[in-house]
Structure formats: structure tokens, C-alpha cells
């Protein structure tokens, strides 16, 4: 079993701010980017958190493949739409700005749809969708990413893991926060099995001939992940369709790269030109907000009180596990694998920001 070390959330965030600032990112942008990366670790989505600090951000900033200062340009704008060019800057900075502007526009227009081109990895999609909740709105956030997923009946990675996030407020219940990839699993999960020399479940990926494989290395080296659902017999074409939908909104509509044109950050010197899509929907333009929240509560209660399967004590609502995990980690510390900590130490020494944080002892 891989050992974990616990670190205080504030310590990790402050370290990431120092790391970004060392690479030329302005303080407020560094703080925002660190906050969003930390949100991934707090919610147990460690594939999108501090683990990417050097493997993605550090390397691309150091090699001038992305810009430390995010110069946002408005390409097109109407009362209910917004199209942004992120200037090859920090995805979190562009994402936060665009979702915030979308919420502001929806205050008066009822809805706002926004796109971002010429961007980079922006963290977890759910962070931006969740921003709408405090304003009594429904939020949506999509992003495309480097090609890792083969289309149904294909053998080559064409689409990214292309997540979909939707958040809606409730009354007394916790909000609904869906944040899901359109691939069956992230590539990082396959890599964990590879390091452990264990087979992956059948249906997770294909080899370079398009045959399903249980050997992780065959997926990583020349193969591809399968879309949500897996093979065609398990209706994997639905996940394939959702992944393509995200690329249409985030890539093609945004005027960003799409499909295989999104640069692979570890094997390409090109700018990524990642694209994002955001939406804010003002509930009050459709119905009374209190009544909406009351109905949300009722729907959630119906689901949570539904008859449980044998030996299953509880039914969850999307986002509930992550919220509870965040509450736990804020109190007890965020777990990082020892291998991740060692990588952070190496990266910190290389950049000139030593990772000297002390783990928490419980």
C-alpha cells in the first residue's frame, strides 16, 4: 500500500503561491491558481491538484510554453454572451474571470454563455460551476484537454477526458454538484495500476490495435482510454458522444484547439490552446428561487431516502462525498503520497522554492 503524508491546507496553498510567484505569476493570479488547485486536493481529486504543480505548470512556465501573466482579451460580447482569449495564460485566472463575468451578466440578462480560447489546464471544472450557487444560479463548466480517449470502435486517442460540471443550489440540503469526466477513468488511475504492476479492469482502455487490454502499459504507451461506459456493448458510445459535445462547446465554438489538435503538455512544445465553456442561469428569471430550492430539497430527499441495495447504508447526491472529504481534510490535513512529496521536493529545488513543509502528526 502506498503511504500518505498529511499536510495543512493553508501550508500547501501558501507553498503553491510562492512557487507560482517564483515563475513570474502575479501575486493575485498565483493565489487564485493555488486556491483552485488546492480545491482539487481537498475534494479528493488529486489528479488535478498539487501533483500538477511541476509536471504541468512548472515545466510549461519555465519553458515559456505558457505565459505567467494572463492577458485576457474580449473577442466578442453581448448582454448574454462572452468570448475570451486567455493569451496562453493561466487557465484558472481566465476561468475565474469568465465565470464571474457570466454570473454578472446573468444578473440582468437571465443567462450567459461564455467561451475561452488560447488557455491552459484550469483545474477542476466543478469549481467554476459551483461559483454560481451563491448567486442563486445554476452553473455549468466544460473544458477540453489533451487527447487520451479513443472514439467507440477506434484505437487512437482523439478526445480528451473532457469533463462536464453542473451545479445547482438547494435549500436545507447540500447543493447538487456534478463534476465528471467523459472518459471511463482518468489516465492517472491507469498509471497507479502500472506502478503497482497490477492489471486494470477490462473495459478501461485499449492497446495500439484497438483491442481491450488489462495491461496498463499498453494503454499508456500507444493505446487509449475508453469513453464513459466502456465498450460498445456497455453503451460506451454515450460517453463518446458526451466527450465530443464538450469539445464542440469548448473547442470548436470557442475557436480553441479541438480533438487531437490540443497539445500534449509532456510531449509537445506547442502552446496547448485549451478551450473552456461556461454558463450561468439565473433561476429567478424562470421561477421563484425559494420554490426552486424547496423542490430541489424534495428531490434530494426522495433520492436519499429511496430503498437501498443490500448492504448499502446510504445513497449520495453528486458532490456530497467531495464536500464531506473537504471538511475532513481541512480538519485533519490533506493526504499526499510519499512519491508526490518527493517529486515536489525535487521540483522545488529545481525552481528555487524548497518544499520544506512538515507533515502533520496525528
From the number of C-beta atoms within 10 Å of its C-beta (0-12, 13-18, 19+), residue 104 rates as middle
Class of domain 1-64+324-362: mainly alpha
Options 3.30.43.10, 3.30.1600.10, 3.30.60.50, 3.90.1300.10; CATH of 185-225: 3.30.60.50
| Rounded Cα–Cα distance for residues 9 and 333 (Å) | 6
Reported as a single tens digit per residue, the pLDDT across 62-90 is 999 999 999 999 999 999 999 999 999 99
Grid cell 498529511 is found at 6
Query: How far, in Å, CA of 36 to CA of 360, rounded?
Result: 22
Report the C-alpha gap between 90 and 68 in whole angstroms.
Answer: 7
**What are the extents of the domains in the chain?**
1-64+324-362, 70-183+233-318, 185-225
Say how far residue 182 (Cα) sits from the centre of its chain. Answer: 11
Positions of the chain with pLDDT under 70: 1-2, 265-269, 362
Q: What is the predicted pLDDT for the residue at 269?
A: 64
Q: What is the pLDDT of residue 263?
A: 86
CATH classification code of 70-183+233-318: 3.30.1370.60
Cα gap 329→326, rounded to integer Å: 5
The Cα–Cα gap between 224 and 148 comes to: 6
Asked whether 275 and 257 are in contact (CB, 8 A), the reply is yes
The tens digit of pLDDT for each residue in 242-265 reads: 999 999 999 999 999 999 999 876
Place of cell 502499459: 217
Amino acid at each position: 500500500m502506498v503511504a500518505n503524508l498529511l499536510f495543512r491546507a493553508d501550508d500547501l496553498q501558501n507553498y503553491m503561491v510562492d512557487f507560482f510567484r517564483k515563475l513570474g505569476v502575479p501575486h493575485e493570479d498565483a493565489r487564485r491558481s493555488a486556491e483552485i488547485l488546492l480545491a482539487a486536493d481537498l475534494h479528493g481529486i488529486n489528479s488535478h491538484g498539487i501533483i500538477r504543480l511541476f509536471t504541468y505548470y512548472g515545466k510549461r512556465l519555465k519553458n515559456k510554453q505558457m505565459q505567467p501573466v494572463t492577458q485576457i482579451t474580449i473577442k466578442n460580447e453581448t448582454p448574454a454572451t462572452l468570448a475570451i482569449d486567455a493569451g496562453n495564460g493561466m487557465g484558472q485566472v481566465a476561468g475565474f474571470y469568465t465565470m464571474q463575468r457570466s454570473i454578472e451578466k446573468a444578473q440582468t440578462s437571465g443567462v450567459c454563455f461564455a467561451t475561452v480560447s488560447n488557455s491552459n489546464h484550469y483545474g477542476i471544472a466543478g469549481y467554476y460551476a459551483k461559483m454560481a450557487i451563491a448567486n442563486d444560479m445554476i452553473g455549468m463548466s466544460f473544458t477540453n484537454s489533451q487527447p487520451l480517449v479513443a472514439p467507440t470502435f477506434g484505437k487512437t486517442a482523439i478526445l480528451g477526458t473532457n469533463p462536464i460540471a453542473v451545479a445547482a443550489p438547494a435549500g436545507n440540503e447540500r447543493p447538487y454538484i456534478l463534476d465528471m469526466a467523459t472518459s471511463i477513468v482518468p489516465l492517472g488511475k491507469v498509471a497507479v495500476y502500472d506502478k503497482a504492476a497490477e492489471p486494470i479492469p477490462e473495459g478501461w482502455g485499449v492497446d495500439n490495435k484497438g483491442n481491450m487490454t488489462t495491461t496498463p502499459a499498453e494503454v499508456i504507451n500507444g493505446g487509449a482510454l475508453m469513453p464513459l461506459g466502456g465498450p460498445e456493448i456497455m453503451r460506451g458510445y454515450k460517453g463518446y458522444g458526451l466527450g465530443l459535445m464538450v469539445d464542440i462547446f469548448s473547442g470548436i465554438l470557442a475557436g480553441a484547439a479541438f480533438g487531437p489538435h490540443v497539445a500534449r503538455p509532456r510531449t509537445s512544445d506547442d502552446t496547448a490552446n485549451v478551450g473552456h465553456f461556461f454558463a450561468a442561469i439565473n433561476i429567478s428569471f424562470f421561477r421563484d428561487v425559494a420554490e426552486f430550492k424547496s423542490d430541489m430539497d424534495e428531490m434530494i430527499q426522495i433520492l436519499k431516502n429511496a430503498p437501498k441495495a443490500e448492504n448499502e447504508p446510504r445513497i449520495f447526491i453528486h458532490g456530497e462525498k467531495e464536500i464531506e472529504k473537504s471538511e475532513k481534510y481541512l480538519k485533519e490535513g490533506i493526504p499526499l503520497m510519499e512519491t508526490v512529496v518527493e517529486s515536489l521536493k525535487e521540483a522545488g529545488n529545481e525552481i528555487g522554492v524548497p518544499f520544506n513543509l512538515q507533515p502533520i502528526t496525528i
